[in-house]
Amino acid sequence: MFFYEPILVICIVLLGLMINSAVQLRREIKQLSVALEKEKHKRSFPLLAFELDVEGRSLYITNDSYCYAKKIAIQDFDLTLHMGFEKHLTLKFDMIDLLKPGKREKITFRVFDHGHEITSSDSPNLVYYFPDTKVTFHIHFENIEEDRFESLVINEGKEFIVKHTERLDDAGTPNPTPPIKPRPSKPLIKEKSL
């Protein structure tokens, strides 16, 4: 009887250790599963940002995510410039077919004044007014799996801020998945180093 008691105690201790290990293993698996879902979400969720090069008179869109963005359409918008007098213009943007992860592309646009196109070689000079003018960009785009997204980007001070990016359903309305949190984009005015 004495011989069986130590073995019984050892078996109970080993059983307890195995149960504890199984519980910890299950907890680790759950944490890894959550981390995997977050990575999948990041890899399928394009994050687009804007960069302004005043010296080069150019506006760029950058893909700051791990996935491709395609069919990028920036909604046309009205712009009021204050140049000693108020000038009301409409900017119409060309669609960007594809933007690879980590890449940027120059945004091209046409300028209209009361419905008449006035785009000229001087039109890129409008980027000088972006830091002083409240500009809001509504962007519609897709990822490579053809999931649709909408993003809102505004300029605050010298930065473009991504206010939200939401996944859209087939009808074009926001999907109940949580939106990406606001984050600052790259600095609005790019300075050249000597």
Considering the entire predicted model, what is its pTM?
A: 0.67
Which pLDDT score, from 0 to 100, does residue 77 have? 86
**Average of per-residue pLDDT values in the chain:** 81
Q: List, for residues 104-115, the tens digit of each pLDDT value.
A: 999 988 888 888
Alpha-carbon distance 53 to 106, whole Å? 10
The answer to whether the beta carbons of residues 50 and 185 sit under 8 Å apart is yes
Alpha-carbon distance 49 to 29, whole Å? 35
Alpha-carbon distance 125 to 129, whole Å? 8
Residues in the chain: 194
Other residues' Cβ atoms within 10 Å of the Cβ of residue 159: 17
Residues 6+ apart with CB under 8 A from 9: none
Q: List, for residues 167-188, the tens digit of each pLDDT value.
A: 887 766 766 555 444 445 554 4
Alpha-carbon distance 144 to 193, whole Å? 36
The 3-class secondary structure across 37-76, one letter per residue, is: HHHHHHHCCCCEEEEEECCCCEEEEEECCCCCEEEEEECC
Q: List, for residues 126-172, the tens digit of each pLDDT value.
A: 777 777 778 888 999 999 888 899 999 888 766 888 888 888 877 66
**Rounded mean pLDDT, 73-78:** 91
Instruction: State residue 80 phi and psi, 5-degree precision.
Output: -110, 120
Alpha-carbon distance 59 to 107, whole Å? 6
